[in-house]
């Protein structure tokens, strides 16, 4: 199948690394693994930090110009995709390009990772909210990446066009690194946190983690932190310097080794959609101590591959940490189960199968449009 692809939230070649960019690249890789031919139709980015009708109307106009450019190019070259696929759609990043081209060329239109916040129906983001809803209405298939988003989308997307497509990871490099035998967990427990140090939810996650660890100063643990950003100094200042090692931001290829060197990933996941780090850590054979946030329970099995606590609850987070520090055998059980869990349910191959099925449902739904 020939697939035209766009990512209005963040293009695949955007210079700033993020989980969103990584997931977009993984989707393309999984589609190619399934035998599809993926062409990036546009690098246009509709996402804006600030919202207003004037701002988003201006972006809308630019997007329509881009759609015209793409249509002219397709007509000139004779290219015609079998389906148009948009990755990550919401009120800050509407898709005005995919629906236009889908209508103009009578194409199936599918969206992977859509979310919807009804409170944005009015206010500064109302224009973008309405545009995102219009794209959802046009879509032949819509996939949320976790159940919490699917519940919100269910108000506007019919159930026969809505599904949950659980996230996945290219597990091979993490599994290879985690396959190297290492001693059973022993004090001091080697903890790992991976997260950018920027304003907002990431910094809040570091704050909750620091609060939780401050309650466990008398217990044997060491924390490695991977990440950097404008809030680096205030973030690092929250942790006792003698108990942490800060590695800064690392290249993606250096992460598998770091996961495998540690006993547990610890991350409160404030407002986290799902967190690719949880997939990567589990693929490396280490368990997870995390916040029970949005899609996290969809990929971390509480009590089996990790321990989850209520979002933002430092005391409960600390209690889970205390439990594993007191029971190194539990750490090893979590890690072994985590490795199996990713291999069975969240590998690139598993994602490829789910994506292929999802797109074929879009084709089927599109074929029915003309019958009503």
Q: Where are the domains of the chain?
A: 2-168+348-369, 172-345
339 by DSSP, 3-state: which?
A: helix
- Give dist(CA 191, CA 362) in Å, integer: 43
* pLDDT higher than threshold 80 for residue 146: yes
Reported as type and span, the H/E element at residue 357 is helix 348-369
Sign of CA dihedral 332, 334, 338, 340: positive
Cα–Cα dist 26/280, whole Å: 13
User: In angstroms, what CA-CA distances link 56 with 20, 48, 336?
Assistant: 21, 8, 48
User: Do the domains spanning 2-168+348-369 and 172-345 agree at the CATH topology level?
Assistant: yes
Give ∠ CA 299-113-133 in degrees, rounded to 5: 140
Comparing C-alpha atoms, which of 277, 333, 274 is closest to residue 306?
Answer: 333
CB 249 within 8 A of CB 227: yes
Q: Which of 16-20, 172-176, 317-321 has the highest mean pLDDT?
A: 317-321
Q: Hunting for tokens 């019958």 — which residue is that?
A: 371
3-state class of 140 per DSSP? Answer: coil
> Kind and range of the H or E element at 71?
helix 53-77
338-350 pLDDT tens trace: 999 999 999 999 9
Dig out the tokens for 171 from the structure: 């597990």
Higher pLDDT residue, 336 or 19?
336
Q: Torsions phi, psi of 112, nearest 5?
A: -110, 135
For residues 147-161, average pLDDT = 93
- Between the alpha carbon of residue 161 and those of residues 25, 86, 137, 281, 350, the distances in Å are 24, 15, 10, 32, 21
DSSP reduced 3-state for 204: helix
Secondary structure class of 38 (helix, strand, coil): strand
Residue-level pLDDT at 16 = 85
Residue range 172-345 forms a domain whose CATH class is alpha beta
370: confidence class by pLDDT, cuts 50, 70, 90: low
| Tokens linked to 364 | 């089927």
The reported pLDDT for the residue numbered 371 is 52
Give, to the nearest 10 degrees, the angle between helix 19-33 and helix 348-369.
Answer: 80
* Mean predicted lDDT score pLDDT of the chain: 94
Q: What does the pLDDT read at residue 123? A: 96
Spatial contact of 178 and 284, defined as CB atoms under 8 Å apart? yes
Work out the pLDDT band at 274, boundaries 50, 70, 90.
confident
* Nearest CA among 129, 132, 139 for reference residue 160: 139
Q: Is the pLDDT of residue 18 over 90?
A: no
**What fold does the segment set 2-168+348-369 form as a domain?**
Rossmann fold (3.40.50)
Residue 182 has pLDDT above 90, yes or no: no
CA–CA separation, 279 and 50 (whole Å)? 31
pLDDT in tens, 88-128: 999 999 999 999 999 999 999 999 999 999 999 999 999 99
pLDDT: which is higher, 273 or 118: 118
pTM (2 decimals)?
0.89
Q: Each residue of 164-178: b (16+ CB within 10 Å) or e?
A: bbbbbbbbebbbebb
């Amino acid at each position: 199948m020939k697939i035209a692809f766009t990512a209005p939230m963040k293009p695949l070649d955007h210079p700033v690394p993020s989980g969103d960019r990584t997931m977009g690249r993984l989707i393309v890789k999984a589609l190619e693994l399934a035998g599809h031919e993926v062409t990036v139709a546009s690098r246009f980015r509709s996402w804006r930090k600030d919202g207003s009708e004037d701002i988003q109307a201006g972006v809308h106009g630019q997007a329509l110009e881009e759609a015209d450019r793409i249509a002219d190019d397709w007509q000139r070259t004779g290219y015609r995709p079998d389906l148009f696929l948009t990755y990550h759609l919401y009120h800050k990043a509407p898709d005005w390009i995919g629906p236009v081209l889908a209508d103009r060329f009578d194409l199936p239109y599918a969206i992977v990772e859509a979310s919807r916040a009804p409170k944005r129906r009015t206010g500064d983001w109302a224009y973008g909210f309405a545009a995102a809803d219009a794209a959802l209405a046009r879509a032949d298939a819509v996939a949320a990446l976790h159940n919490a988003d699917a519940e919100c989308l269910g108000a506007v997307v019919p159930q026969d066009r809505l599904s949950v497509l659980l996230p996945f990871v290219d597990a091979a490099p993490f599994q290879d690194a985690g396959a190297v035998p290492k001693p059973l967990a022993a004090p001091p427990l080697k903890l790992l946190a991976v997260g950018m140090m920027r304003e907002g939810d990431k910094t809040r996650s570091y704050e909750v983690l620091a609060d939780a660890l401050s309650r466990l100063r008398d217990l044997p643990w060491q924390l490695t932190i991977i990440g950097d950003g404008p809030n680096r100094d205030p973030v690092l200042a929250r942790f006792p310097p003698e108990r942490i090692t800060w590695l800064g931001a690392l290249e993606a290829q250096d992460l598998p080794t770091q996961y495998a060197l540690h006993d547990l990933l610890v991350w409160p996941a404030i407002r986290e959609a799902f967190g690719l780090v949880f997939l990567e850590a589990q693929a490396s054979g280490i368990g997870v101590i995390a916040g029970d946030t949005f899609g996290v329970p969809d990929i971390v099995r509480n009590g089996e591959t990790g321990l989850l606590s209520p979002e933002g609850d430092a005391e409960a987070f600390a209690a889970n940490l205390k439990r594993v520090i007191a029971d190194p055998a539990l750490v090893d059980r979590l890690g072994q189960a985590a490795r199996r869990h990713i291999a069975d349910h969240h590998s690139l191959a598993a994602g490829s199968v789910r994506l292929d099925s999802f797109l074929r449902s879009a084709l089927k739904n599109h074929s029915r449009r003309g019958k009503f």
